[in-house]
Chains A and B, each alone.
Chain A
Amino acid sequence: MNDMTPINASQNSDGQAGLLNLSRRRFLGVSAGALVLGVALPSGAGRALAQAAAPAVVAGTRVNAYIEIRPDSTVLFRSAFIEGGQGIFTAMAQIVGEELDVDPARFVVEAAPPGPDYLLIGGFRFTGGSMSVRMSYEKMRKLGASARLMVMQAAAARMNVPVPELTTEPGRVLHAASGRALSYGELAQDAAALAVPADAPLRAKSDFRWIGKPLARLDVRDKSTGKAKYAIDLRVDGMLYAAVQHARHLGAEPHTITNEAQVLAMPGVHSVHRLPGAVGVVADSWWRARRAAESLQVTWAAAPQGTRGAMPEDYSTERHREGLKAMTGDGLEAEASGDTTKALASAKTIIEATYDAPHLAHAQLEPPSALARWNDDGTLELWAPNQAPEMFQGAAAKVAGIDPSRVIIHSPLLGGFFGRHFFYASANPFPQAILLSKAVGKPVKLVWSREEEFLRDALRPMAVARFRAGLDEKGMPVALSAIAVGEGATGRWFGRQPDKVDSSAVEGIAGKLYAIPNHRVGHIHVDDPAVIGFWRSVGHSMNDFFYETFFDEMADAGKQDPYDLRHRLLAESPRQRKLLEAVADLSGGWKRGPYQAEDGTRRARGVAMASPFGIEVATIAEVSLRGEETVVHQVWVAVDPGSIVNPAIVEAQINSAVAIGLSIALMEEVVYEEGVPRARNYDGYPILPPDRMPKVHVRIVESGAPMGGIGEPGVPGVPPAVVNALAVLTGRRARSLPLSRASLAGSI
């Protein structure tokens, strides 16, 4: 038995900027035989000193940190962003390759190590918020252009000609006058000695060959043949495997283990360990470790009353929902125009409704894992799925009790993430892997079983929204009060300011563009007893459902067509109005229904708008009923991301967003009873199966507005479009998700 000091929850649950170690870096080892462009950096022990004395690194400018041109003129590119299916590695190759003049197919992309060069998101680094391309696009172009100029300068010196006489073609520098040519690979070493130029010219947009084109993704063949490696697949020499059994209630600690001797005698078992909030078994294979961990008979000591972050033993999501619904008052003001109170008082018609949406699990297919190895030099090496290497480095250093500079983080491909792999303290396996590896003196790969994952995932928060609208005598909305109730994930992990509204709690209710002259959005904060986190499209994942469905209630109450009313209220928002027209056109012209389809089914359509993550989205869903079941036949999505890098990736992301958006509309819900989740696997927490996937039609509108993100924005419009269509078929409003909660015939 190894007794380990519990991790102080307050140290590891804050997610504050203090966790980010921005002052240190560690370079990747240079692969053998490769030439690193711009390698003129001090090496070895001198590096840290030089680093300390050097001026602050400007993120995204140092070519050498990103680009390694290899002798065969292929390019190893270190991406600040982690690949998890959103296509970011390919997008980076397109952007950089365009300017560097190397075919993106000649790129090998990997996740960069921690370091100041990669802090591209406002001085931080994470892969999320659909920010990767839009926050780095200009910098990555410039980086590629600088690298190209350095190669040309090296060629000029080699050929003894001035740079202006040179041109490039993919992977080669040409001197037209003499007919000479040199490959990038031949020039990389010379280019490495040069300083990064400040003024490399960028390619004109009209000359783009790869940006904006539907290029094949770089990882598709490996992912189609089982060659792609995820964290769960990694192995190192001498590695042991570990599995854990968590306390059912977060915050409880292992007290006694009554059958430890028997478990230690099970085949392959190396050792049994107490961990903060869990017990773990290390064995020579994961299956043996898991079977042993599940066999441990543990009594748990409940967290003392009032322990911050502990799960109350009587917690029920049903009761929490009722509590949110019972909250009264107007809350903190998030956004307002006109005089809503007065306008409501004088309105001809008042309508009111209260909506709710449940907790959600990420349910990504790859169960979380972490591989930890303590090296002979005292450094800790960690392979873990993550969306934020520097945050994980800082947190891992605290667990390990060493300086962050001595933690080497690897960021493998993510087997789905959707917000799952931020630092959520109790929701991450890596602290346990670090402790177990230290205890056994060998590398340890810890995998959470699917059941442990459902027990410890950080959930999309539960939320309620209360609406009150006033219509004039013509049935037009003149006043709207919307009160969101719940807790935002941003406040939970980045510090809540009690006198300010957490935007992640109201986004999608606030930020709407309809011209309703008097409106007010308020927020009432209620602590969510569950561990909450970021979930694909964050607050928009529920708030656009609330707002856009209530919008149809306003339209119905005022006897307006919901499409026409949206169109009228967007008269001053041409970008959105055009997009609404685009989705109607894509669907063959707006028709609400109900109507009879060729197959004899009675169908209807619903429409919804959303403005998430800097882009605009308009969605139409076509729905019928098969008995009690909602059948979604087709979904049309028009998106305006401003401008794009790869239309094929955009289309794939929209398909993916429709699937997950429909999944949460139809069937997803985390239910807690007595402080534990009822579902511990996909049997109890169904996600959209293939036979419920609709046809998806996508139209990309490039308005030229500033570039927005694409990973998340397809999600928010789907639940309201579906529910609005359903209301046409049933004559009733579903105000609570998922639809599987309610009987479509009866209670909605």
Chain B
Amino acid sequence: MQLTINGQSHQVDIEPDTPLLWVLRDTLGLTGTKYGCGLAQCGACTVLIDGQATRACVTPVESVAGTEIVTIEAITGDAEGRRVVEAWVDHQVPQCGYCQSGQVMAATALLKQTPQPTEEDIAAAMINLCRCGTYNAIASAVRQAAKA
């Protein structure tokens, strides 16, 4: 199976129903994408599939062959991603940090779809869980990234 991840082509030989998350983490060693729940509940595994925020833990790898997959490892190669990361640093968003790859990817996807998001747009897009409760800092950082 041929996958395009962060602009690079990868040939992977694996059961087609394997979740993309585990192909990224174990097969390709891209561990920036996190495993949190495995049920699309928490969003720690969020990646971009053709620019859309997608939960890799429930996405069969066969379903994303032929798409453009972007993970946190390539985030600063992306214009919106760079802005989001700088806003994350400015607002000192992460605490434990474990959910933040997914949060950054979700924010990046939001800005790609909606460059000038309203508060409602932000609330609708930023639904990933954070046990450290960094939600207010996340919202502030997204606002800044949208303005930048």
Which residues from chain A sit less than 8 Å from chain B, CB to CB? 84-87, 216-217, 219-230, 232-233, 235, 241, 267, 285-288, 363-367, 413-418, 447, 449-451, 648, 652, 655-660, 663, 681-683, 687-691, 693, 695-696
B57 to chain A minimum Cβ distance, whole angstroms, is: 10
B18, B39, B42, B132 interface centre (most CB from chain A within 10 Å): B132
Q: A285 CB to closest chain B CB, in angstroms?
A: 4
Contact A85 B96 (CB under 8 A): yes
**Cβ–Cβ < 8 Å partners of A288 in chain B:** 15
* B85 touching A225, Cβ below 8 Å: yes
Check if A693 sits within 8 Å of B22, measured CB to CB: no
Distance from B22 Cβ to chain A, minimum over Cβ atoms (Å): 4
Assess the A229–B31 pair: CB atoms within 8 A: yes
Interface contact B100-A224, CB-CB below 8 Å? yes
> Does the CB pair B132–A656 fall under 8 Å?
yes
**A691–B123 touching, CB < 8 Å:** yes
B36 touches A224 (CB 8 A): no
Contact in complex: B98, A365 (CB < 8 Å): yes
A689 near B96: Cβ-Cβ < 8 Å: no
Asked if A418 contacts B32 (CB within 8 A), the reply is: no
- Please name the 8 residue pairs, one residue from A and one from B, whose CB atoms are nearest each other, closest first: A659-B133, A226-B32, A85-B96, A223-B97, A415-B98, A226-B72, A85-B95, A287-B22
- Contacting residue for A224 out of B35, B88, B130, CB 8 A: B88
The reply to whether B41 and A682 form a contact with Cβ atoms under 8 Å apart is yes
Given contacts A413-B97, A683-B41, 4 further A-B contacts (CB under 8 A): A416-B132, A659-B130, A691-B123, A696-B136
Interface pair B129/A689, CB less than 8 Å apart: yes
Q: Which of A230, A656, A658 has the most CB of B within 10 A?
A: A656
Report yes or no: B92 in contact with A690, Cβ–Cβ below 8 A: no
User: Min CB distance, A224 to chain B, in Å?
Assistant: 4
B79 at interface (Cβ–Cβ under 8 A)? Answer: no
Which residue of chain B is the closest to A658 with respect to CB atoms?
B133
**24 residue pairs from A and B, CB less than 8 Å apart:** A85-B94, A85-B97, A220-B88, A224-B97, A232-B35, A285-B26, A287-B18, A288-B15, A366-B96, A415-B97, A416-B98, A447-B35, A655-B136, A657-B133, A659-B132, A681-B39, A681-B41, A682-B39, A682-B41, A683-B39, A690-B123, A690-B139, A693-B135, A696-B136
Known contacts A232-B35, A687-B129: A364-B72 contact under CB 8 Å: no
Give the distance in Å from the alpha carbon of A660 to the alpha carbon of B132 in the complex. 7
Interfacial chain B residues near A365, Cβ < 8 Å? 34, 36, 42, 44, 96, 98-99, 129-131
Q: Are B32 and A660 in touch, CB under 8 angstroms?
A: no
B94-A223 in contact (CB<8A): yes
Chain B interface (Cβ < 8 Å from any Cβ of A)? 14-15, 18-19, 22, 25-27, 29, 31-39, 41-42, 44, 71-73, 75-76, 85, 88-89, 92-101, 104, 123, 126-139
Rounded to whole angstroms, the CA-CA distance of A415 and B96 in the bound complex is 5
Contact A224 B89 (CB under 8 A): yes
User: Which residues of the partner chain A approach B139 to less than 8 Å between Cβ atoms?
Assistant: 690
Contact of B38 among A652, A657, A681 (CB under 8 A): A681
In whole angstroms, what is the CA distance A689 to B132 when docked?
A: 11
A364 lies within 8 A of B96 (CB): yes
Contact between chains at A689 and B32 (CB < 8 Å) = no
Max count, chain A CB within 10 A of own CB: residue among B42, B101, B133: B133
- With A226-B101, A655-B136, A660-B131 given, is the CB distance from A450 to B36 under 8 Å? yes
* Contact A287 B26, beta carbon cutoff 8 Å: yes
Given contacts A229-B31, A693-B135, whether A86 and B95 have CB atoms under 8 Å apart is yes
**Do residues B134 and A655 form an inter-chain contact, with CB atoms below 8 A?**
yes
Is the CB–CB distance between B27 and A285 below 8 Å?
A: yes
Contacts of A658 in B (CB 8 A): 133
Q: Give the residues in chain B near A85, CB-CB below 8 Å.
A: 94-97, 132
- Cα distance A584–B135 when bound, in Å? 25
Instruction: Please pick, from A286, A415, A690, the residue contacting B26 in the complex, using a CB distance under 8 A.
Output: A286
A86: min CB distance to chain B, Å: 7
Q: B14, B37, B75, B104 — which one has the most chain A CB atoms within 10 A of its CB? A: B37
Q: Which residues of B sit under 8 angstroms from A84, Cβ to Cβ?
A: 96
What residue in chain B is nearest A445 (Cβ atoms)? B26
Bound-state CA distance A365–B133 (Å) is: 11
A225 with B72: CB separation less than 8 A: yes
- For the complex, give the distance between the alpha carbons of A709 and B96 in Å: 18
Chain A residues within 8 Å of B130, by CB: 365, 659, 690
**Also in contact, A227 and B32, with CB within 8 A (given A416-B132, A683-B39, A687-B129):** yes
User: Is B95 touching A656 in the complex (CB atoms < 8 A)?
Assistant: yes
Q: Do the beta carbons of B19 and A287 come within 8 Å of each other?
A: yes
- In the complex, which residues of chain A have a beta carbon less than 8 angstroms from the beta carbon of B100? 223-224
Cβ-defined contact, A225 with B32, below 8 A:
yes
Once bound together, how far apart are the Cα atoms of A149 and B101, in whole Å? 42
Q: Is the CB of B76 within 8 A of A225?
A: yes
Known contacts A224-B85, A416-B98; A690 and B37 CB within 8 A of each other: no
Contact A226 B134 (CB under 8 A): no
A394 to chain B, nearest CB (A): 26
Q: Which chain A residue lies CB-closest to B31?
A: A233
Min CB distance, B61 to chain A, in Å? 10
How distant is the Cα of A657 from the Cα of B134 in the complex, in angstroms? Answer: 10
Per the bound structure, the CA–CA distance linking A85 and B100 in Å amounts to 12
Known: A364-B131, A367-B35. A286 touches B22 (CB 8 A): yes
CB distance A414 to B96 under 8 Å? Answer: yes
- Which residues does chain A contribute within 8 Å of B97, judged by CB atoms? 85, 219, 222-224, 228, 413, 415
B76 — nearest CB in chain A belongs to which residue? Answer: A225
Please give me the residue from chain A that is nearest to B91 by CB atom.
A220
In the bound complex, CA of A232 to CA of B131 (Å): 17
Output the least CB separation between B25 and chain A (Å): 8
Which residue of the partner chain A has the closest CB to B87? A224
Residue of A nearest to B30 (CB): A226
Whether A225 lies near B39 (C-beta < 8 A) is no
Contact A693 B133 (CB under 8 A): yes
Residues of B within 8 A of A689 (CB): 127, 129
A655–B73 CB distance below 8 A: no
Chain A residues in 8 Å Cβ range of B76 = 225
**Pairwise interchain contact B34-A366, C-beta atoms closer than 8 A:** yes
Q: Which residue of B lies closest to A284 (CB)?
A: B26
Quote the shortest CB–CB distance from A599 to chain B (angstroms). Answer: 13
Q: Which residues of A contact B19 (CB under 8 A)?
A: 287
Q: Which residues of B contact A232 (CB under 8 A)?
A: 31, 34-35
Residues of B within 8 A of A663 (CB): 133
A711 to chain B, nearest CB (A): 10
